[in-house]
Amino acid sequence: MTTEVFAASEPGSLERAARLLHAGQLVAFPTDTVYGVGAPAFDGASVAAIYVAKERPPDKAIPVLIADEGDLARITAFAPDCARVLIACFWPGALTLVLPKRPDVPEIVSSDETVAVRIPDLELARAFLRLTGPLAATSANRSGQPSPVTAADVMTQLSGRIAAVLDGGPCPGGTPSTVVNCVASPPYIVREGALAGDVLRDVVPDLRLG
């Protein structure tokens, strides 16, 4: 497979990348944190291809990225109170929330009753997601390797394994998102990343720090 690189600044590049995704191909794209590789969240076969491309362990769930808060109802059955507080304060942003999964979300995305969801704080990523719909997406690297912050980083690791990279320049953040499990009582931090736990506890005092 030859991996194409589309400059996001070129007219029609987002549409070309979206057409590849809708045709069952994998595409990498920039977010506010790192580059991600994605597939339509409700296309189980395409999501399965992410595991192959990344050599990702099959027991690791894949988060879902959405463009706007209105898309949340397509992915989760409901948002617990702590999630609503965190969403109001930190979305769009580098915060991934583990929420109750809708039954129609494929098991390949998450094998249990939860799903991780985020709205990235990068307008390019959100514009792309408005074209594609919710994407199951994880860092565009081989499993266990450094997370990519440029299109060149993606090509170093996944060239020949995915159809295309949407090159939007360096990611502004460079650090993976913080992950909070909002289903547990009390909620807790699964992974501390770009957002510090103390910042989150300012708005959700009972949040456990892992």
Place of tokens 């594609």: 132
Is residue 59 situated within a structural domain? yes
Is residue 210 situated within a structural domain? no
Q: How confident is the model at residue 61 (pLDDT cuts 50, 70, 90)?
A: very high
Mean pLDDT across 184-199: 95
Count: domains in the chain:
1
Q: With 80 as the cut, is the pLDDT of residue 210 above it? A: no
Per-residue pLDDT, 77: 86
Is residue 150 situated within a structural domain? yes
Is residue 50 situated within a structural domain? yes
Q: Where are the beta strands (DSSP E) in the chain?
A: 4-7, 27-29, 36-40, 64-65, 95-100, 114-118, 135-139, 164-167, 178-181, 188-191
Token code pair at residue 60? 């690791």
Place of tokens 């792309």: 128
Is residue 115 situated within a structural domain? yes
Alpha-carbon dihedral 45, 48, 53, 54, rounded to 10 degrees: 160
Q: What is the CATH number of the domain that holds 97?
A: 3.90.870.10
Residues 9 and 181: their CA atoms lie apart, in Å, by 36
Q: With 90 as the cut, is the pLDDT of residue 209 above it? A: no
Is residue 69 situated within a structural domain? yes
Q: With 80 as the cut, is the pLDDT of residue 137 above it? A: yes
Is residue 208 situated within a structural domain? no
Can you say how many angstroms the Cα of residue 170 is from the centroid of all Cα atoms in its chain?
17
Is residue 206 situated within a structural domain? no
What domain range includes position 90?
4-201
Residues 147 and 139: their CA atoms lie apart, in Å, by 6
Whole-model pTM: value is 0.96
Per-residue pLDDT, 150: 98
The length of the chain is: 210
Per-residue pLDDT, 203: 95
Per-residue pLDDT, 41: 98
